Chains A and B, each alone.
Chain A
Amino acid sequence: MSYVDETAFLQEVADSDYKYGFVTNFEAETAPKGLSEDTVRFISAKKEEPEWMLEWRLKAYRHWLTLQDKYPRWAHIEYPDIDFQDISYYSAPSKKPKYDSLDEVDPELLDTFERLGISLVEQKMLAGVAVDAVVDSVSVATTFKEELAKEGIIFCSFGEAVQNHPELVQKYMGSVVPYTDNFYASLNSAVFSDGSFCYIPKGVRCPMELSTYFRINAAGTGQFERTLIIADEGSYVSYLEGCTAPRRDENQLHAAVVEIIAHKAAEVKYSTIQNWYPGDREGKGGVFNFVTKRGICDGDHAKISWTQLETGSSITWKYPSVILKGDYSVGEFYSVAFTKGRQQADTGTKMIHLGKNTTSTIISKGISAGHSNNSYRGLVKINKSAANARNFSQCDSLLLGDKCGAHTFPYLEIKHPTAHVEHEATTSKVGEDQIFYCNQRGIGEEQAIKLIVNGFCKEILAVLPMEFAVEARKLLDIELEGSVG
């Protein structure tokens, strides 16, 4: 992106409050609070699912029940026990659950998207981005379906995929993140309500970026969406995910699962802007974001790249990972995590090298302000089978102020003597010298900090798709306003 564009974003002034904190008043159909086999059956019935899907959910639920003493406590975060019986596990906008075209969508819902800055109509006309929008639990509209179908690409809600492509769902669902994987993955597998599904056939390069927007709207609901992306041999897709939630005083739970399968020589680029409501300055309210994201490079020369900008949520617990099974496969993780107020983030990645000549790159940038805590946690595992594997990790932390924390927890497990692993970590404070230098050129303190932080994140913002990078910069600027001093 040229500097002219960059400057333009930097000049945009926005208020420092969480600007996505509005509630949309469309009629919703919400399940009663609580979790039991009946809840699982209720969700499955609502979605008119086949028997095999219900059975899978029930297996996951029963497994989850066995994990109650294995509630994950190892992350560098603090929060009260979650009462899983005090959450509603299903909420759907009730006016017409399915839409054939955008014209049929509840105008107030469309207005929600307008306010989120993702007008479907506008995007359809201008941006060339296909959008699957998930509000609360149900996927409401998927644009560009017809154009994608011409290429043989399937891009639809998870629910539709269960109905229309059961063979693909049955083959791949749970193959990367099994329902036994961890506490939240099991919970998600039992109660997930919708999400996105994407299949790119052999040799097809997806002609546009695919995009999903998630929004929690109803009060007292959890959001449990599931995304499954399958890139067949030699295909390519770039996938974008955005998230927002209204401002609420109680904590909301978000526990998602994303699975990616990249076959031989396929490439998947997955970018996230996570801006769930972070809670107020004192830490009241906000989304608990417990997410399991994992991809597998299942064939030789496959590549999976995760890029994330994490600015929201009161708690972020997420480790987008890659299993490098195919020889010469490539895994990448690029992350910017910004925390302020009382936010806590414990995020990073796992790179599991199984194949020969596999390569992984990890670049993590943590920025902490206010009283927040920001941790990087990453595992690089080089298996006995992974000859000539390489990893490069770089974890940089930037502190704004002296009441916040930055932590790095790298784990290395090397089982092959030819492995080549590098780890670099730095922690710095925004220097008085740097701010003074900007001041002496006429640039005020807040603008100086924005410049310095944007510079710190440059490598990550550079790998985001163009329109996402624009949004990312705006978001970072908004988050920085009033977060310093």
Chain B
Amino acid sequence: MAILEIKNLHAKIEDNEILKGLTLTVNPGEMHAIMGPNGSGKSTLAAVLAGREEFEVTEGEVLYNGRDLLDMAPDERAREGVFLAFQYPVELPGVSMMNFLKEAVNATREHRGEAPLGAMDFIKMARERAALVNLDPSLKQRSVNEGFSGGEKKRNEIFQMAMLEPRLGILDETDSGLDIDALRVVADGVNHMRSDDRAFVVITHYQRLLNYIVPDVVHVLVDGKIVKSGGKELALVLEEKGYDWIKEHADEPVTV
């Protein structure tokens, strides 16, 4: 069964329709990249999947492991294994990173009928997973995202994903604002998590990230719809020829 099946999805915010019939299927083990120009609806797709209330779904359906995703509350989606790495991670002043994560990890474990993780096991796990993304151990002691640099915030998102072990990881422009070294670290973290029963949707504006996280499928999103899908080489064509070219040649097969 597909992990994620999006069928003819329409969504609007206030009176602006942003997604206009988006269809996408993601199978276990797959890495999907969604590329598109500014304003094409990439981040809206991430927000709708995570359950942000400002967006209203007007048509279509989303199945997650065969279940109606749109029917679940945002925290239930998370406990069911949907993880969103935020483009702009939110600061929680005074809330310690470790306290926050322990709350999150144990909420998910409880949902799965597992016992809460003991203190020592939790610390050990956090230490290992933080090392995956070169997260400075002192960051774990600080408040959630407070005073983190842009790069630290993004690495912290991947660290949280590693702790929560989702079935579906959605990365919303995780590469934006990262220098090349940080980009590599983030990509390594994601690659480390790839497995046969887990899938990813990586949303990005630039091809650059896909040098490090190699996708199985690349989709081009323009004006709320996927206009073209292809292998990893599609990203290179886009980089070379630009989104305008794609709009004009959406129906032609991809050649490099």
Residues of chain A at the chain B interface (Cβ within 8 Å): 3-4, 6-7, 10-11, 431-434, 436-445, 447, 451-452, 454-459
Q: What is the bound-complex CA distance between A459 and B93, given in angstroms?
A: 11
B191-228 interface code vs A (CB 8 A; 1 in, 0 out): 00000000000000000000000000000000000000
What are 21 A-B residue pairs whose CB atoms fall within 8 Å in the complex? A3-B96, A4-B102, A6-B99, A7-B103, A11-B106, A11-B116, A431-B90, A433-B90, A437-B86, A437-B89, A438-B92, A439-B75, A440-B50, A441-B101, A442-B107, A451-B92, A451-B100, A451-B103, A452-B95, A454-B95, A458-B94
Q: What is the bound-complex CA distance between A192 and B93, given in angstroms?
A: 43
Q: A436-B52, A442-B79, A445-B75 are in contact. Are A455 and B164 (CB under 8 A)?
A: no
User: How far is the CB of B103 from the nearest CB of chain A, in Å?
Assistant: 5
Q: Which residues of B contact A447 (CB under 8 A)?
A: 103, 107
Q: Is B183 an interface residue (CB 8 A)?
A: no
Q: Check if B94 sits within 8 Å of A457, measured CB to CB.
A: yes
- The total of Cβ contacts below 8 Å across the A-B interface reads 96
Q: Check if B98 sits within 8 Å of A443, measured CB to CB.
A: no
Q: Check if B95 sits within 8 Å of A7, measured CB to CB.
A: no
Q: Which residues of B contact A440 (CB under 8 A)?
A: 50-51, 74-75, 77-78, 83-84, 86
Q: Is B125 an interface residue (CB 8 A)?
A: no
Q: Is B111 an interface residue (CB 8 A)?
A: yes
Q: A451-B92, A455-B92 are in contact. Are A10 and B52 (CB under 8 A)?
A: no
Q: Check if B99 sits within 8 Å of A3, measured CB to CB.
A: yes
Q: Check if B160 sits within 8 Å of A441, measured CB to CB.
A: yes
User: How far is the CB of B24 from the nearest CB of chain A, in Å?
Assistant: 20
Q: What is the bound-complex CA distance between A7 and B40, given in angstroms?
A: 41
Q: Which residues of A contact B122 (CB under 8 A)?
A: 4
User: How far is the CB of A11 from the nearest CB of chain B, in Å?
Assistant: 8
Q: What is the bound-complex CA distance between A360 and B73, given in angstroms?
A: 47
Q: Which residues of A contact B95 (CB under 8 A)?
A: 451-452, 454-455
Q: Which residues of B contact A433 (CB under 8 A)?
A: 90
Q: Which residues of B contact A3 (CB under 8 A)?
A: 96, 98-99, 102
Q: Check if A455 sits within 8 Å of B143, measured CB to CB.
A: yes
Q: What is the bound-complex CA distance between A334 and B111, given in angstroms?
A: 39
Q: Is B108 an interface residue (CB 8 A)?
A: yes
Q: What is the bound-complex CA distance between A458 and B95, given in angstroms?
A: 8
User: How far is the CB of B238 from the nearest CB of chain A, in Å?
Assistant: 29
Q: Check if A439 sits within 8 Å of B100, measured CB to CB.
A: no
In-complex Cβ contact of A456 among B73, B89, B93 (8 A)? B93
B125-160 interface code vs A (CB 8 A; 1 in, 0 out): 000000000000000000100000000000000001
Q: Is B256 an interface residue (CB 8 A)?
A: no
In-complex Cβ contact of B96 among A6, A438, A457, A459 (8 A)? A6
Q: Which residues of B contact A456 (CB under 8 A)?
A: 93-94
Q: Check if B99 sits within 8 Å of A442, measured CB to CB.
A: no
Q: Is B119 an interface residue (CB 8 A)?
A: yes
Q: Which residues of A contact B73 (CB under 8 A)?
A: 439
Task: Beyond the given A433-B90, A439-B51, A443-B103, please list 10 additional residue pairs across the A-B interface where CB-CB is below 8 A.
Answer: A3-B99, A438-B92, A440-B51, A440-B75, A440-B86, A441-B78, A441-B160, A442-B164, A443-B100, A444-B75
Q: Which residues of A contact B106 (CB under 8 A)?
A: 7, 11
In-complex Cβ contact of A441 among B94, B104, B143 (8 A)? B104
Q: Check if A443 sits within 8 Å of B94, measured CB to CB.
A: no
User: How far is the CB of A7 from the nearest CB of chain B, in Å?
Assistant: 5
User: How far is the CB of A61 from the nearest CB of chain B, in Å?
Assistant: 47
Nearest A residue to B77, CB-CB: A440
Q: Check if B74 sits within 8 Å of A436, measured CB to CB.
A: yes
User: How far is the CB of B79 from the nearest CB of chain A, in Å?
Assistant: 4
Q: What is the bound-complex CA distance between A455 and B106, given in angstroms?
A: 19
Which of A432, A437, A444, A456 is the most central at the interface, judged by chain B CB atoms within 10 Å of its CB? Answer: A437
Q: A434-B92, A455-B92 are in contact. Are A439 and B74 (CB under 8 A)?
A: yes
Q: What is the bound-complex CA distance between A437 and B146, given in angstroms?
A: 14
Q: Which residues of B contact A7 (CB under 8 A)?
A: 99, 102-103, 106
Q: A3-B99, A3-B102, A439-B73 are in contact. Are A444 and B107 (CB under 8 A)?
A: yes
Q: Check if A443 sits within 8 Å of B99, measured CB to CB.
A: no
Q: Which residues of A contact B91 (CB under 8 A)?
A: 434
Q: Check if A439 sits within 8 Å of B78, measured CB to CB.
A: yes
B58-85 interface code vs A (CB 8 A; 1 in, 0 out): 0000000000000001110111000110
Q: What is the bound-complex CA distance between A434 and B50, given in angstroms?
A: 14
B143-183 interface code vs A (CB 8 A; 1 in, 0 out): 10000000000000000100010000000000000000000
Q: What is the bound-complex CA distance between A250 and B153, given in angstroms?
A: 53
Q: Which residues of B contact A457 (CB under 8 A)?
A: 94
Q: Check if B90 sits within 8 Å of A434, measured CB to CB.
A: yes
Q: What is the bound-complex CA distance between A442 and B79, given in angstroms?
A: 5
Q: Which residues of B contact A439 (CB under 8 A)?
A: 51, 73-75, 78
Q: Which residues of A contact B79 (CB under 8 A)?
A: 442
User: How far is the CB of B129 from the nearest CB of chain A, in Å?
Assistant: 14
Q: Which residues of A contact B111 (CB under 8 A)?
A: 442
Which of A438, A440, A445, A452 is the most central at the interface, judged by chain B CB atoms within 10 Å of its CB? Answer: A440
Q: Which residues of A contact B99 (CB under 8 A)?
A: 3, 6-7, 10, 451
Q: Check if A4 sits within 8 Å of B92, measured CB to CB.
A: no
Q: Which residues of A contact B116 (CB under 8 A)?
A: 11
Q: Which residues of B contact A454 (CB under 8 A)?
A: 94-95
Q: A7-B102, A437-B89, A455-B143 are in contact. Are A443 and B107 (CB under 8 A)?
A: yes
Q: What is the bound-complex CA distance between A7 and B100, given in angstroms?
A: 8
Q: Which residues of A contact B53 (CB under 8 A)?
A: 432
Q: A433-B90, A437-B86, A452-B92 are in contact. Are A443 and B104 (CB under 8 A)?
A: yes
Which of B73, B93, B164 is the most central at the interface, judged by chain A CB atoms within 10 Å of its CB? Answer: B93
Which of A7, A431, A445, A457 is the most central at the interface, judged by chain B CB atoms within 10 Å of its CB? Answer: A7
